[in-house]
Amino acid sequence: MAAPALRAAASRESRPAHSRLCFLMRFVSSWWKRIVALRRQPAGLREMTEAPLFSDNALTILRERYLQRDDTGAVIEDPPGMLRRVAAAVAAPARTFGEDAAVWEARFLERLLRREFLPNSPTLMNAGLPGGQLAACFVLPIADDLESIFTALSQMARIHQTGGGTGFSFSALRPRDDRVRSTGGITSGPLSFMDLFDHTTAVIRAGGRRRGANMAVLRVDHPDVEAFIDAKHTPGRLENFNLSVGVTDAFFQALDSETPFPLRNPRSGRVACTVDPAALFERIVQAAWSTGDPGLLFLDEINRHNPTPQLGTIEATNPCGEQPLLAYESCVLGSLNLGAFAAEADVDWARLRSAIHDAVVFLDNLIEAGCFPFPEIEAATRRTRKIGLGVMGLADLFARRSVAYDSDAGLVLATRLAAFLTAEARAASVELGQRRGSFPAFKDSVWPQRGF
* Catalytic residue annotation: 318, 320, 322
Contact 200, 157 (CB under 8 A): yes
> For residues 192 and 189, what is the distance between their CA atoms, to the nearest angstrom?
6
Look at residue 257 and give its three-state secondary structure: helix
The answer to whether the bond into 294 is cis (omega within 30° of 0) is yes
Contact 337, 392 (CB under 8 A): yes
For residue 16, how many other CB atoms are within 10 A of its CB? 8
Contact 386, 329 (CB under 8 A): yes
Contacts 24+ apart (CB under 8 A), 150-158: 152/197, 153/196, 153/197, 153/200, 155/373, 155/374, 156/197, 156/200, 156/201, 156/212, 156/214, 157/200, 157/204, 158/373, 158/374
Question: Judging by beta carbons within 10 Å of its beta carbon (0-12, 13-18, 19+), is residue 103 exposed, middle or buried?
Answer: exposed
CB proximity list for 250: less than 8 A, separation 6 or greater: 221, 261
* Of the candidates 199, 191, 156, 189, the residue with the CA atom closest to the CA atom of residue 319: 156
Question: Judging by beta carbons within 10 Å of its beta carbon (0-12, 13-18, 19+), is residue 276 exposed, middle or buried?
Answer: middle
Contact 104, 361 (CB under 8 A): yes
For residue 105, how many other CB atoms are within 10 A of its CB? 19
